[in-house]
Amino acid sequence: MARLQIKEGMDMLVSRSTNNGNTQVRVRGCVIGGEQLAIVAGPCAVENEEIMKETAFKVRGSGANILRAGAYKPRTSPYSFQGLGEAGLKILARIGEEMNMPVITEVMDAEDIAVVTDYADILQVGARNMHNFSLLKKLGKINKPIVLKRGMSATIEEWLLAAEYILAGGNSQLILCERGIRSSEPWTRNTLDLAAVAMVKEMSHLPVLVDPSHATGVRSLVTPMARAAIAGGADGIMVEVHPHPEKALSDGDQSLTPRGFSQLMKEIEPVARAVGRRAR
């Protein structure tokens, strides 16, 4: 296989040719890319403190080690719930501190980097912003871990080149996330490309997460795709969980209940052991 190159004779920072080991990203006692899988769980969005606290307590008890929720929500419709903004960030940070869990949330605009950085331990670049090169350049200058989701129609090369923007800026605390790509299949929200996970793990030293919630959009498919992702070499999973999915303000159809998440954790444990990892 040809080496990843920016131009002839210049190896990319994302490539294994520049780092033969596996990068591990450490944040508040968690190691992403190590023997223990990173289990990121929480609601799609911060809706209120009560739901956030209930969800965090239950996913923590089942084995999640990183708490997720959105405060700024990129939605297809301008009339959909757009998130609570800084108020949501405050709730997320406070509950993460209470539960002793690092928190991850999405940053959508370069102007919001400062405020999101004040509250979040890990900043997420969503699929719609993977090609927002101005945002990527600025995230390359901060000292916080970044999760870079693959764009919904992005090739593997485009995904890795987007990662290069962040690495080239000096931020080596980078985690990739496969969340499914757009295809002609109408029965799932996206098409989960697990071949891309194996390919990227072969080509790059960066840790890779898989988001089976956004990849499928179907609650019943989240657990089997989580199992498959771990078997395929993913360093962790990012799962949406809500105590009352039928009432969720966003992505309820793909959110597991806390009981469903507990079952997911039970089912991924033997798969993790089979590939030399552990789920908790």
Q: Per-residue confidence at 1, pLDDT binned at 50, 70, 90? A: very low
Q: What per-residue string of b and e applies to 108-132 under the rule 16 or more CB within 10 Å gives b?
A: beeebbeebbebbbbbbbbbebbbb
Q: Domain 23-274 falls in which CATH fold?
A: TIM Barrel (3.20.20)
Position 197 scores a pLDDT of 98
Structure-model confidence comparison of residues 76 and 66, the more confident one: 66
The percentage of the chain sitting over the pLDDT mark of 90, rounded to a whole number, equals 88
Contact 163, 135 (CB under 8 A): no
Strand partners, 66: 40
Using CA atoms, how far apart are residues 275 and 180, in angstroms rounded to an integer?
Answer: 23
When comparing pLDDT for 223 and 16, which is higher? 223
pLDDT score at 17: 87
pLDDT digits (tens, 9 = 90+) for 139-170: 999 999 999 999 999 999 999 999 999 999 99
Res. 9: pLDDT tops 70 = no
The rounded mean pLDDT for the chain is 94
Mean pLDDT over 236-250 rounds to: 96
Q: Encode pLDDT of 195-206 as tens digits.
A: 999 999 999 999
pLDDT at 218: 97
The number of helix segments (H) and strand segments (E) in the chain equals: 9, 12
The values of phi and psi at residue 141, to 5°, are: -100, -5
Map out the domains of the chain as residue ranges.
23-274
* Predicted pLDDT at 114: 96
Q: pLDDT per residue over 83-135, tens digit each?
A: 889 999 999 999 999 999 999 999 999 999 999 999 999 999 999 999 999 99
Token digits of residue 236: 């962790």
